[in-house]
Amino acid sequence: MDAPHYDRASQAQGIVHFGLGAFARAHLAWYTDKALNAGENGWLITGVSMRSPAVGEQLNPQDGLYSLTERSADGECTRVMGAIREVLLADADRQRIVDLIASPDCHIASFTVTEKGYCRRPDGSLDQSLAAQGFYPLLGEALARRHASGLLGLTLLSCDNLAHNGRVLEKLLGEWLAAHQPQATGWFAHECTCPETMVDRIVPAMTAANLDEAQALLGDVRDEGAIFTESFSQWVIEDRFAGPRPRWEEHGAQIVADVAPYETAKLRMLNGAHSLLAYCGLAKGHTYVHQAIADPDLRTLVQRLMLDEAAPTIRTAPGQDLPAYAEALIARFENPALQHRLAQIAMDGSQKLPQRWLAVLAERQAQGLSSTAIMRGLAAWLRHVRGDNGPVDDPLAADLEAASQQPDTAAMIRAIVGPGGLVGSPWHPSDDEIAQLQTALGEAR
Protein backbone atom coordinates (compact mmCIF):
# COMPACT_ATOMS: atom_id res chain seq x y z
CA MET A 1 0.00 0.00 0.00
CA ASP A 2 1.33 3.43 -1.00
CA ALA A 3 1.27 6.57 1.17
CA PRO A 4 2.10 10.28 0.68
CA HIS A 5 5.80 10.91 0.04
CA TYR A 6 5.65 14.66 0.78
CA ASP A 7 5.79 16.71 3.97
CA ARG A 8 2.18 17.73 4.48
CA ALA A 9 3.03 20.03 7.41
CA SER A 10 5.11 22.33 5.19
CA GLN A 11 2.54 22.63 2.39
CA ALA A 12 0.43 25.73 1.86
CA GLN A 13 -3.30 25.37 1.25
CA GLY A 14 -3.50 26.49 -2.37
CA ILE A 15 -6.94 25.10 -3.27
CA VAL A 16 -10.30 25.59 -1.59
CA HIS A 17 -12.89 23.10 -2.84
CA PHE A 18 -16.65 23.44 -2.34
CA GLY A 19 -18.48 20.11 -2.19
CA LEU A 20 -15.84 17.64 -1.00
CA GLY A 21 -17.82 14.48 -1.56
CA ALA A 22 -16.54 11.10 -2.65
CA PHE A 23 -16.16 12.13 -6.30
CA ALA A 24 -13.94 15.14 -5.54
CA ARG A 25 -11.75 13.00 -3.29
CA ALA A 26 -11.39 10.38 -6.04
CA HIS A 27 -10.74 12.94 -8.77
CA LEU A 28 -9.41 16.44 -8.00
CA ALA A 29 -7.70 15.26 -4.79
CA TRP A 30 -6.33 12.16 -6.55
CA TYR A 31 -4.69 14.19 -9.34
CA THR A 32 -3.41 16.75 -6.83
CA ASP A 33 -1.97 14.06 -4.58
CA LYS A 34 -0.04 12.75 -7.59
CA ALA A 35 1.33 16.23 -8.26
CA LEU A 36 2.41 16.65 -4.64
CA ASN A 37 4.06 13.22 -4.66
CA ALA A 38 5.98 14.33 -7.76
CA GLY A 39 7.53 17.19 -5.79
CA GLU A 40 5.19 20.13 -6.34
CA ASN A 41 4.46 22.41 -3.39
CA GLY A 42 1.64 24.58 -2.12
CA TRP A 43 -1.37 22.64 -3.29
CA LEU A 44 -3.02 21.15 -0.22
CA ILE A 45 -6.80 21.26 -0.46
CA THR A 46 -9.22 22.74 2.05
CA GLY A 47 -12.62 21.13 1.63
CA VAL A 48 -15.85 23.01 2.27
CA SER A 49 -19.09 21.20 3.06
CA MET A 50 -22.09 23.43 2.44
CA ARG A 51 -24.53 21.79 4.87
CA SER A 52 -23.69 18.31 6.11
CA PRO A 53 -20.88 17.87 8.65
CA ALA A 54 -20.47 14.21 7.64
CA VAL A 55 -17.32 14.54 5.50
CA GLY A 56 -15.58 16.66 8.13
CA GLU A 57 -16.55 14.16 10.81
CA GLN A 58 -14.98 11.42 8.69
CA LEU A 59 -11.75 13.14 7.67
CA ASN A 60 -10.80 15.74 10.30
CA PRO A 61 -10.12 13.15 13.06
CA GLN A 62 -7.88 11.41 10.50
CA ASP A 63 -5.91 14.61 9.76
CA GLY A 64 -7.53 14.69 6.31
CA LEU A 65 -6.07 11.31 5.34
CA TYR A 66 -8.19 8.63 3.66
CA SER A 67 -7.70 5.56 1.52
CA LEU A 68 -8.61 5.21 -2.13
CA THR A 69 -8.97 1.73 -3.60
CA GLU A 70 -9.08 1.27 -7.36
CA ARG A 71 -11.05 -1.81 -8.33
CA SER A 72 -11.13 -3.60 -11.64
CA ALA A 73 -11.82 -7.10 -12.90
CA ASP A 74 -8.06 -7.71 -12.55
CA GLY A 75 -7.86 -6.82 -8.86
CA GLU A 76 -7.49 -3.81 -6.61
CA CYS A 77 -4.88 -1.27 -5.52
CA THR A 78 -5.08 0.84 -2.35
CA ARG A 79 -3.19 4.01 -1.46
CA VAL A 80 -3.48 6.59 1.31
CA MET A 81 -4.28 10.08 0.03
CA GLY A 82 -2.76 13.16 1.67
CA ALA A 83 -3.85 16.12 -0.48
CA ILE A 84 -6.66 17.25 1.83
CA ARG A 85 -5.60 19.35 4.81
CA GLU A 86 -8.99 19.85 6.49
CA VAL A 87 -12.73 20.02 5.91
CA LEU A 88 -14.70 23.09 6.99
CA LEU A 89 -18.44 23.64 7.32
CA ALA A 90 -19.86 26.66 5.48
CA ASP A 91 -21.92 28.08 8.36
CA ALA A 92 -19.74 27.20 11.32
CA ASP A 93 -16.41 28.07 9.67
CA ARG A 94 -17.49 30.95 7.44
CA GLN A 95 -14.74 33.40 8.41
CA ARG A 96 -11.93 30.86 8.10
CA ILE A 97 -13.17 29.85 4.63
CA VAL A 98 -13.21 33.48 3.48
CA ASP A 99 -9.76 34.05 4.98
CA LEU A 100 -8.32 31.04 3.15
CA ILE A 101 -9.74 32.06 -0.24
CA ALA A 102 -8.57 35.65 0.32
CA SER A 103 -5.06 34.46 1.23
CA PRO A 104 -2.14 34.99 -1.18
CA ASP A 105 -1.47 31.23 -0.86
CA CYS A 106 -4.77 30.38 -2.55
CA HIS A 107 -4.79 30.26 -6.35
CA ILE A 108 -7.75 27.98 -7.12
CA ALA A 109 -11.31 27.74 -5.83
CA SER A 110 -12.97 24.60 -7.17
CA PHE A 111 -16.47 23.17 -7.07
CA THR A 112 -18.33 19.88 -7.13
CA VAL A 113 -21.78 21.14 -6.21
CA THR A 114 -23.94 19.31 -8.80
CA GLU A 115 -26.27 21.05 -11.21
CA LYS A 116 -28.63 22.32 -8.52
CA GLY A 117 -25.78 23.89 -6.53
CA TYR A 118 -25.39 26.64 -9.13
CA CYS A 119 -28.83 28.01 -8.17
CA ARG A 120 -30.04 28.77 -11.68
CA ARG A 121 -33.55 29.79 -12.57
CA PRO A 122 -35.19 28.08 -15.58
CA ASP A 123 -34.21 31.11 -17.72
CA GLY A 124 -30.53 30.60 -16.81
CA SER A 125 -30.21 33.58 -14.47
CA LEU A 126 -29.09 33.35 -10.85
CA ASP A 127 -31.76 32.75 -8.23
CA GLN A 128 -30.46 35.24 -5.69
CA SER A 129 -32.46 33.85 -2.76
CA LEU A 130 -31.20 30.30 -3.33
CA ALA A 131 -27.68 31.55 -4.04
CA ALA A 132 -27.62 33.24 -0.63
CA GLN A 133 -27.66 29.74 0.90
CA GLY A 134 -24.85 28.44 -1.31
CA PHE A 135 -21.20 29.20 -2.00
CA TYR A 136 -21.78 32.63 -3.55
CA PRO A 137 -21.68 34.77 -0.36
CA LEU A 138 -18.45 33.15 0.82
CA LEU A 139 -16.77 33.39 -2.55
CA GLY A 140 -18.07 36.89 -3.24
CA GLU A 141 -16.72 38.24 0.04
CA ALA A 142 -13.34 36.58 -0.50
CA LEU A 143 -13.03 37.90 -4.05
CA ALA A 144 -13.89 41.41 -2.87
CA ARG A 145 -11.14 41.14 -0.27
CA ARG A 146 -8.61 39.92 -2.84
CA HIS A 147 -9.52 42.86 -5.06
CA ALA A 148 -9.18 45.35 -2.21
CA SER A 149 -5.80 43.85 -1.24
CA GLY A 150 -4.44 44.03 -4.78
CA LEU A 151 -4.00 40.27 -5.05
CA LEU A 152 -4.01 38.18 -8.18
CA GLY A 153 -7.27 36.78 -9.44
CA LEU A 154 -8.33 33.18 -8.87
CA THR A 155 -8.93 30.28 -11.18
CA LEU A 156 -12.50 29.16 -10.44
CA LEU A 157 -12.65 25.53 -11.48
CA SER A 158 -15.91 23.63 -11.82
CA CYS A 159 -15.45 19.87 -11.42
CA ASP A 160 -18.91 18.50 -12.12
CA ASN A 161 -21.19 17.38 -14.92
CA LEU A 162 -22.91 20.67 -15.64
CA ALA A 163 -22.71 21.44 -19.36
CA HIS A 164 -20.50 24.48 -20.09
CA ASN A 165 -19.74 24.64 -16.38
CA GLY A 166 -17.08 27.35 -16.63
CA ARG A 167 -19.22 29.75 -18.65
CA VAL A 168 -22.22 29.11 -16.40
CA LEU A 169 -20.18 29.80 -13.26
CA GLU A 170 -18.67 32.94 -14.77
CA LYS A 171 -22.10 34.34 -15.65
CA LEU A 172 -23.80 33.47 -12.37
CA LEU A 173 -20.94 34.63 -10.15
CA GLY A 174 -20.84 37.86 -12.13
CA GLU A 175 -24.53 38.37 -11.36
CA TRP A 176 -23.94 37.74 -7.66
CA LEU A 177 -21.04 40.21 -7.53
CA ALA A 178 -23.00 42.85 -9.42
CA ALA A 179 -25.75 42.61 -6.80
CA HIS A 180 -23.61 42.27 -3.65
CA GLN A 181 -19.97 43.24 -4.36
CA PRO A 182 -20.21 45.63 -7.32
CA GLN A 183 -16.77 47.12 -6.64
CA ALA A 184 -15.20 43.75 -7.56
CA THR A 185 -17.06 43.05 -10.82
CA GLY A 186 -14.51 44.62 -13.16
CA TRP A 187 -11.60 43.00 -11.35
CA PHE A 188 -13.37 39.62 -11.48
CA ALA A 189 -13.96 39.95 -15.23
CA HIS A 190 -10.35 40.86 -15.98
CA GLU A 191 -8.34 38.95 -13.37
CA CYS A 192 -10.25 35.72 -12.67
CA THR A 193 -10.94 32.81 -15.02
CA CYS A 194 -13.53 30.05 -15.08
CA PRO A 195 -12.20 27.27 -17.34
CA GLU A 196 -14.53 24.75 -18.88
CA THR A 197 -13.88 21.21 -17.66
CA MET A 198 -15.02 17.65 -18.22
CA VAL A 199 -14.66 15.15 -15.39
CA ASP A 200 -15.18 11.40 -15.46
CA ARG A 201 -14.70 8.70 -12.88
CA ILE A 202 -17.24 6.28 -11.46
CA VAL A 203 -17.30 6.56 -7.67
CA PRO A 204 -20.06 4.46 -6.08
CA ALA A 205 -21.56 5.52 -2.78
CA MET A 206 -19.86 3.74 0.12
CA THR A 207 -21.81 1.35 2.31
CA ALA A 208 -21.09 0.00 5.78
CA ALA A 209 -19.99 -3.26 4.18
CA ASN A 210 -17.56 -1.33 1.95
CA LEU A 211 -16.01 0.33 5.01
CA ASP A 212 -15.49 -3.11 6.52
CA GLU A 213 -13.78 -4.21 3.30
CA ALA A 214 -11.53 -1.16 3.40
CA GLN A 215 -10.62 -1.94 7.01
CA ALA A 216 -9.46 -5.40 5.97
CA LEU A 217 -7.38 -3.93 3.13
CA LEU A 218 -5.74 -1.45 5.53
CA GLY A 219 -4.61 -4.11 7.99
CA ASP A 220 -7.55 -3.66 10.37
CA VAL A 221 -7.26 0.15 10.44
CA ARG A 222 -10.70 1.80 10.37
CA ASP A 223 -11.01 4.52 7.70
CA GLU A 224 -14.33 6.35 7.87
CA GLY A 225 -13.45 8.29 4.71
CA ALA A 226 -12.48 5.33 2.53
CA ILE A 227 -13.38 5.39 -1.16
CA PHE A 228 -13.67 2.67 -3.79
CA THR A 229 -13.49 3.68 -7.44
CA GLU A 230 -12.59 2.38 -10.87
CA SER A 231 -9.06 2.53 -12.30
CA PHE A 232 -10.23 4.77 -15.16
CA SER A 233 -10.17 8.55 -14.70
CA GLN A 234 -10.49 11.42 -17.18
CA TRP A 235 -10.14 15.16 -16.66
CA VAL A 236 -10.21 17.60 -19.58
CA ILE A 237 -9.55 21.25 -18.68
CA GLU A 238 -9.66 24.36 -20.84
CA ASP A 239 -6.25 26.05 -20.90
CA ARG A 240 -7.45 29.24 -19.21
CA PHE A 241 -5.91 29.80 -15.78
CA ALA A 242 -5.59 33.03 -13.81
CA GLY A 243 -2.34 32.07 -12.12
CA PRO A 244 -0.27 29.12 -10.89
CA ARG A 245 -1.69 25.59 -10.92
CA PRO A 246 -0.49 22.03 -10.30
CA ARG A 247 0.93 20.28 -13.37
CA TRP A 248 -2.03 17.91 -13.48
CA GLU A 249 -1.34 17.10 -17.13
CA GLU A 250 1.77 15.19 -16.08
CA HIS A 251 -0.54 12.79 -14.23
CA GLY A 252 -3.18 12.13 -16.87
CA ALA A 253 -5.26 15.31 -17.14
CA GLN A 254 -5.74 16.83 -20.60
CA ILE A 255 -5.23 20.60 -20.95
CA VAL A 256 -6.93 21.57 -24.22
CA ALA A 257 -8.10 24.59 -26.19
CA ASP A 258 -11.71 23.37 -26.44
CA VAL A 259 -13.41 21.06 -23.95
CA ALA A 260 -16.77 20.96 -25.75
CA PRO A 261 -16.28 17.80 -27.88
CA TYR A 262 -15.16 15.78 -24.85
CA GLU A 263 -17.87 17.22 -22.63
CA THR A 264 -20.59 16.47 -25.16
CA ALA A 265 -19.39 12.90 -25.70
CA LYS A 266 -19.33 12.28 -21.98
CA LEU A 267 -22.74 13.79 -21.31
CA ARG A 268 -24.53 12.16 -24.23
CA MET A 269 -22.76 8.80 -24.36
CA LEU A 270 -21.53 7.93 -20.85
CA ASN A 271 -24.04 9.87 -18.77
CA GLY A 272 -26.87 9.26 -21.23
CA ALA A 273 -26.21 5.51 -21.17
CA HIS A 274 -25.93 5.55 -17.38
CA SER A 275 -29.36 7.17 -17.06
CA LEU A 276 -30.83 4.66 -19.50
CA LEU A 277 -29.42 1.77 -17.49
CA ALA A 278 -30.66 3.34 -14.25
CA TYR A 279 -34.31 3.86 -15.14
CA CYS A 280 -34.75 0.85 -17.41
CA GLY A 281 -32.63 -1.34 -15.14
CA LEU A 282 -34.55 -0.46 -11.98
CA ALA A 283 -37.82 -1.16 -13.82
CA LYS A 284 -36.54 -4.66 -14.63
CA GLY A 285 -35.43 -5.38 -11.06
CA HIS A 286 -31.67 -4.81 -11.41
CA THR A 287 -29.68 -3.15 -8.63
CA TYR A 288 -26.23 -2.50 -10.11
CA VAL A 289 -24.84 -1.19 -13.39
CA HIS A 290 -22.97 -4.41 -14.15
CA GLN A 291 -26.21 -6.37 -13.77
CA ALA A 292 -28.12 -4.03 -16.07
CA ILE A 293 -25.48 -4.06 -18.83
CA ALA A 294 -25.45 -7.90 -18.67
CA ASP A 295 -29.15 -7.85 -19.63
CA PRO A 296 -29.07 -8.45 -23.43
CA ASP A 297 -32.06 -6.18 -24.03
CA LEU A 298 -30.53 -3.27 -22.12
CA ARG A 299 -27.07 -3.81 -23.61
CA THR A 300 -28.53 -3.52 -27.11
CA LEU A 301 -30.48 -0.44 -26.06
CA VAL A 302 -27.36 1.23 -24.62
CA GLN A 303 -25.35 0.53 -27.77
CA ARG A 304 -28.13 2.00 -29.88
CA LEU A 305 -28.28 5.12 -27.72
CA MET A 306 -24.52 5.69 -27.82
CA LEU A 307 -23.70 4.86 -31.43
CA ASP A 308 -26.91 5.43 -33.40
CA GLU A 309 -28.48 8.32 -31.51
CA ALA A 310 -25.91 10.25 -29.46
CA ALA A 311 -22.67 9.88 -31.46
CA PRO A 312 -24.00 11.46 -34.70
CA THR A 313 -24.86 14.64 -32.75
CA ILE A 314 -21.28 15.11 -31.46
CA ARG A 315 -18.82 17.36 -33.31
CA THR A 316 -15.58 15.55 -32.54
CA ALA A 317 -12.13 16.93 -31.86
CA PRO A 318 -9.23 15.70 -34.02
CA GLY A 319 -8.42 12.11 -33.07
CA GLN A 320 -11.55 11.63 -30.95
CA ASP A 321 -12.77 8.08 -31.70
CA LEU A 322 -16.39 7.70 -30.61
CA PRO A 323 -16.82 3.99 -31.49
CA ALA A 324 -13.72 3.19 -29.42
CA TYR A 325 -15.08 5.39 -26.63
CA ALA A 326 -18.38 3.49 -26.68
CA GLU A 327 -16.52 0.17 -26.49
CA ALA A 328 -14.50 1.41 -23.52
CA LEU A 329 -17.67 2.57 -21.79
CA ILE A 330 -19.29 -0.85 -22.13
CA ALA A 331 -16.19 -2.41 -20.58
CA ARG A 332 -16.41 0.03 -17.65
CA PHE A 333 -20.10 -0.71 -17.15
CA GLU A 334 -19.29 -4.44 -17.00
CA ASN A 335 -16.88 -4.02 -14.06
CA PRO A 336 -18.52 -6.03 -11.22
CA ALA A 337 -16.05 -4.81 -8.61
CA LEU A 338 -17.58 -1.33 -8.34
CA GLN A 339 -21.08 -2.32 -7.22
CA HIS A 340 -22.35 0.95 -8.76
CA ARG A 341 -25.98 1.32 -7.72
CA LEU A 342 -28.57 2.27 -10.30
CA ALA A 343 -30.50 4.16 -7.62
CA GLN A 344 -27.53 6.49 -7.14
CA ILE A 345 -27.46 7.30 -10.86
CA ALA A 346 -31.24 7.80 -10.91
CA MET A 347 -31.07 10.74 -8.48
CA ASP A 348 -31.87 14.27 -9.71
CA GLY A 349 -33.03 13.19 -13.15
CA SER A 350 -34.89 16.45 -13.76
CA GLN A 351 -31.54 18.29 -13.53
CA LYS A 352 -29.55 15.81 -15.63
CA LEU A 353 -31.76 14.66 -18.49
CA PRO A 354 -31.91 17.96 -20.42
CA GLN A 355 -28.18 17.63 -21.17
CA ARG A 356 -28.05 13.83 -21.43
CA TRP A 357 -31.16 13.04 -23.49
CA LEU A 358 -33.29 16.03 -24.38
CA ALA A 359 -30.54 17.91 -26.23
CA VAL A 360 -30.02 14.81 -28.40
CA LEU A 361 -33.75 14.54 -29.05
CA ALA A 362 -33.85 18.20 -30.11
CA GLU A 363 -30.99 17.81 -32.60
CA ARG A 364 -32.35 14.61 -34.06
CA GLN A 365 -35.84 16.06 -34.28
CA ALA A 366 -34.47 18.94 -36.36
CA GLN A 367 -33.02 16.36 -38.77
CA GLY A 368 -36.26 14.39 -38.95
CA LEU A 369 -34.74 11.42 -37.10
CA SER A 370 -36.33 9.23 -34.44
CA SER A 371 -34.65 8.16 -31.20
CA THR A 372 -36.22 4.94 -30.03
CA ALA A 373 -33.65 4.15 -27.31
CA ILE A 374 -33.94 7.56 -25.64
CA MET A 375 -37.72 7.44 -25.96
CA ARG A 376 -37.79 4.15 -24.09
CA GLY A 377 -35.51 5.58 -21.43
CA LEU A 378 -37.68 8.69 -21.13
CA ALA A 379 -40.76 6.52 -20.64
CA ALA A 380 -38.95 4.61 -17.89
CA TRP A 381 -38.01 7.90 -16.21
CA LEU A 382 -41.60 9.16 -16.34
CA ARG A 383 -42.71 6.00 -14.57
CA HIS A 384 -39.82 6.37 -12.11
CA VAL A 385 -40.86 9.90 -11.06
CA ARG A 386 -44.39 8.57 -10.57
CA GLY A 387 -42.88 6.39 -7.85
CA ASP A 388 -42.89 3.02 -9.57
CA ASN A 389 -39.35 2.26 -8.34
CA GLY A 390 -39.88 3.59 -4.83
CA PRO A 391 -39.16 7.03 -3.28
CA VAL A 392 -37.88 9.59 -5.78
CA ASP A 393 -34.73 11.60 -4.95
CA ASP A 394 -35.12 14.73 -7.09
CA PRO A 395 -35.47 18.45 -6.26
CA LEU A 396 -38.72 18.46 -8.27
CA ALA A 397 -39.99 15.15 -6.87
CA ALA A 398 -43.31 16.43 -5.51
CA ASP A 399 -44.17 18.40 -8.66
CA LEU A 400 -43.14 15.55 -10.94
CA GLU A 401 -45.22 13.05 -9.02
CA ALA A 402 -48.24 15.34 -9.14
CA ALA A 403 -47.88 15.90 -12.89
CA SER A 404 -47.42 12.17 -13.53
CA GLN A 405 -50.80 11.36 -11.99
CA GLN A 406 -52.75 12.96 -14.84
CA PRO A 407 -54.96 10.37 -16.58
CA ASP A 408 -54.19 11.90 -19.97
CA THR A 409 -50.63 10.73 -20.74
CA ALA A 410 -50.18 13.31 -23.50
CA ALA A 411 -50.97 16.11 -21.04
CA MET A 412 -48.65 14.52 -18.49
CA ILE A 413 -45.78 14.37 -20.98
CA ARG A 414 -46.25 17.99 -22.00
CA ALA A 415 -46.49 19.12 -18.38
CA ILE A 416 -43.13 17.54 -17.58
CA VAL A 417 -40.95 17.82 -20.73
CA GLY A 418 -42.98 19.99 -23.10
CA PRO A 419 -42.56 23.75 -23.68
CA GLY A 420 -42.94 25.49 -20.34
CA GLY A 421 -42.92 22.13 -18.55
CA LEU A 422 -41.33 21.31 -15.22
CA VAL A 423 -38.04 20.22 -16.82
CA GLY A 424 -36.26 22.95 -18.73
CA SER A 425 -35.95 21.30 -22.13
CA PRO A 426 -34.43 22.22 -25.49
CA TRP A 427 -36.75 19.60 -27.00
CA HIS A 428 -40.32 20.45 -27.94
CA PRO A 429 -42.00 17.10 -28.61
CA SER A 430 -44.14 16.92 -31.74
CA ASP A 431 -47.52 15.20 -31.78
CA ASP A 432 -45.89 12.18 -33.42
CA GLU A 433 -43.21 12.08 -30.70
CA ILE A 434 -45.85 12.39 -27.99
CA ALA A 435 -47.61 9.40 -29.56
CA GLN A 436 -44.33 7.47 -29.73
CA LEU A 437 -43.67 8.20 -26.06
CA GLN A 438 -47.21 7.16 -25.17
CA THR A 439 -46.58 3.87 -26.94
CA ALA A 440 -43.32 3.42 -25.03
CA LEU A 441 -45.17 4.12 -21.78
CA GLY A 442 -47.68 1.48 -22.72
CA GLU A 443 -44.95 -1.05 -23.48
CA ALA A 444 -43.34 -0.28 -20.13
CA ARG A 445 -46.51 -1.43 -18.37
* Residues 40-93 pLDDT 10s: 999 999 999 999 999 999 999 999 999 999 998 788 999 999 999 999 999 999
Task: For residue range 229-270, list pLDDT tens digits in order.
Answer: 999 999 999 999 999 999 999 999 999 999 999 989 999 999
- CA pair distance 207, 223, nearest whole angstrom: 12
pTM assigned to the model:
0.82
d(CA 368, CA 366) in angstroms, rounded, equals: 6
pLDDT band at 445 (very low <50, low <70, confident <90, very high): very low
Q: How confident is the model at residue 205 (pLDDT cuts 50, 70, 90)?
A: confident
pLDDT of residue 282: 98
> Tens digits of per-residue pLDDT, 300-310?
999 999 999 99
CA–CA distance, 34 with 39 (Å, rounded to integer) = 9
Q: How many CA within 13 A on the CB side of residue 111?
A: 28
DSSP symbol at 392:
-
Q: For residue range 138-154, what is the model confidence (pLDDT) as tens digits? A: 999 999 999 999 999 99
Q: What is the mean pLDDT of residues 388-398?
A: 95
> How large is the average pLDDT for residues 160-173?
93
Looking at per-residue pLDDT, the higher value among 196 and 205 belongs to 196
pLDDT band at residue 1 under the 50/70/90 scheme: low
C-alpha span between 244 and 14 (Å, rounded): 9
Radius of gyration of the chain (CA): 22
Judged against a pLDDT cut of 50, whether residue 313 lies above it is answered with yes
Query: What's the number of CA atoms in the CB half-sphere (13 Å) around residue 369?
Result: 15
Give the pLDDT score at 387. 94
The C-alpha atoms of residue 73 and residue 409 are separated, in whole angstroms, by 43
Q: How do the domains of the chain map onto residue ranges?
A: 8-256, 260-444
Quickly list DSSP for 66-131: EEEEEEETTEEEEEEE--EEEEEETTTTHHHHHHHHTSTT--EEEE--TGGGG-B-TTSSB-HHHH
Q: Is 136 exposed, middle or buried (0-12, 13-18, 19+ CB in 10 A)?
A: buried
The yes-or-no verdict on residue 289 having pLDDT over 50 is yes
- pLDDT attached to residue 443: 61
- The pLDDT assigned to 104 comes to 98
Give the lowest-confidence range in 101-115, 329-343, 366-380: 329-343
Q: Which fold has domain 8-256?
A: Rossmann fold (3.40.50)
Averaged pLDDT for residues 22-33: 98
Provide the pLDDT for residue 359: 95
Tell me the C-alpha distance between 200 and 27, whole Å: 8
pLDDT tens-digit series, residues 117-138: 999 998 999 999 999 999 999 9
The candidate with the shortest Cα–Cα distance to 175, out of 206, 148, 139, 147, is 139
Please return the burial class of 229, using the count of CB atoms within 10 Å of its CB with bins 0-12, 13-18 and 19+: buried
Band (pLDDT 50/70/90 cuts) for residue 338 is: confident
Q: What pLDDT score does 121 carry?
A: 94
The per-residue pLDDT for 407 is 86
User: Which residue would you say has higher pLDDT here, 301 or 317?
Assistant: 301
Give which of 21, 20, 27 is closest to 46, Cα–Cα.
20
Amino acid in position 377: G
Indicate the burial class of 39 (C-beta count within 10 angstroms; 0-12, 13-18, 19 or more): exposed
pLDDT, position 235: 96
Per the prediction, the chain carries an average pLDDT of: 95
Helices (H) and strands (E) in the chain, counts: 21, 11
Q: Are 281 and 292 in contact (CB under 8 A)?
A: yes
> Which carries the bigger pLDDT value, residue 439 or residue 29?
29
Q: Which CATH architecture has domain 260-444?
A: Orthogonal Bundle (1.10)
